Amino acid sequence: MREQSFFRQFMIASPDVVFVTGDIAETPCLQELLHDMQHAIEVPLYFVLGNHDFYHGSIETVRRVVQEWCVAQPGLHYLSASGLTELTPTTVLIGHDGWGDGRYGDYWASPVRLSDQELIRDFQGLDREAVLSKLRALGDESALHLREVLTKAVDSYQQVMCLIHVPPFKEACWYEGEMGNDDWLPYFTCQAAGEVLLDVMQTRPDCHVTVLCGHTHHAGAVQMLPNLRVVTGPADYGMPCISDVLEIP
């Protein structure tokens, strides 16, 4: 019933395309839900995956399966496995899942333990040091992808839309109107991705990038550079909704 209400919101908004910034489902029902959503909204759906999407699965396997499956799903586009997607002659879309890479905040002092470490196979049985190594590797993987696609994007387009599940800056890691604290930041920001965004966009003041994130469940926006804006959408478990309707130039 909640899904039907969600889909009705799309009929009213009547978008040309839809962006989804992750935490869509859990692995066993991820493809079914993506399929149902895309068929209900009847427009191209561009998405990245969040940590919840890997629950009861493994990150590499889920990413590969979803990438291969999307080849036969013409309306579904997984951005972590994509290059540049032109939206208009001046605007391009890129993205990656991202991951909280343990770099912001105080990982070693933090008492926080996400369900990720029990429910995602990659983390099961790892000690604290090995978990941190894995978090950093996942963040670095996102940064590598973003550097490649963002560098190409600003060479050919004036506007870039970038989807990443995990906010790339602590200033964009909102919790009830405040910035996340040192206990949560290690898991809720992808510093490696943020450094790439700053690095590339500082060299191209003539281009603008808008970064759309999920993960924190709290809404906020921050202007990191005159040409780099980061927006985080709100979310409640089991209550999907449209965060915003954007005009793409």
Q: Which residues bind Fe ion (CB under 5 A)?
A: 23, 50-51, 215
Buried b (16+ CB within 10 A) or exposed e, 181-219: eeebbbbbbbbbbbbbbeebbeebeebbbbbbbbbbbbe
Q: Which CB atom, from 55 or from 157, has the smaller least distance to Fe ion?
A: 55
Q: Which is nearer to Fe ion, 70 or 166 (CB)?
A: 166
Measured CA to CA, the distance from residue 103 to residue 95 in angstroms comes to 21
- Shortest distance in whole angstroms from residue 23 CB to Fe ion: 4
Cβ of residue 215: shortest distance to Fe ion, in angstroms?
A: 4
Burial of 69 (0-12, 13-18, 19+ CB in 10 A): middle
**Pick 152 or 218: Cβ nearer Fe ion:** 218
Shortest gap between Cβ of 126 and Fe ion (angstroms)?
Answer: 19
> What are the contacts of 105-109 at 24+ separation with CB within 8 A?
105/170, 105/180, 105/181, 105/182, 105/183, 105/184, 105/185, 105/186, 105/189, 106/182, 106/183, 106/185, 106/186, 107/132, 107/186, 109/182, 109/183
Q: Which is nearer to Fe ion, 196 or 235 (CB)?
A: 235
Could you give the CA distance from residue 16 to residue 56 in angstroms, rounded to a whole number? 33
Task: State which residue, 227 or 232, has the beta carbon closest to Fe ion.
Answer: 232
Is 50 or 186 the residue whose CB approaches Fe ion more closely?
50
Minimum CB distance to Fe ion smaller for 116 or for 227:
116
Nearest distance from C-beta of residue 243 to Fe ion, angstroms: 14
Residues in the chain, overall count: 249
What's the CA dihedral at 59, 63, 66, 67 to 10 degrees? Answer: -170
As measured in angstroms, the least distance from the Cβ of 79 to Fe ion is 16
Can you list the alpha helix ranges (DSSP code H) found in 120-231? 128-156, 185-188, 191-202
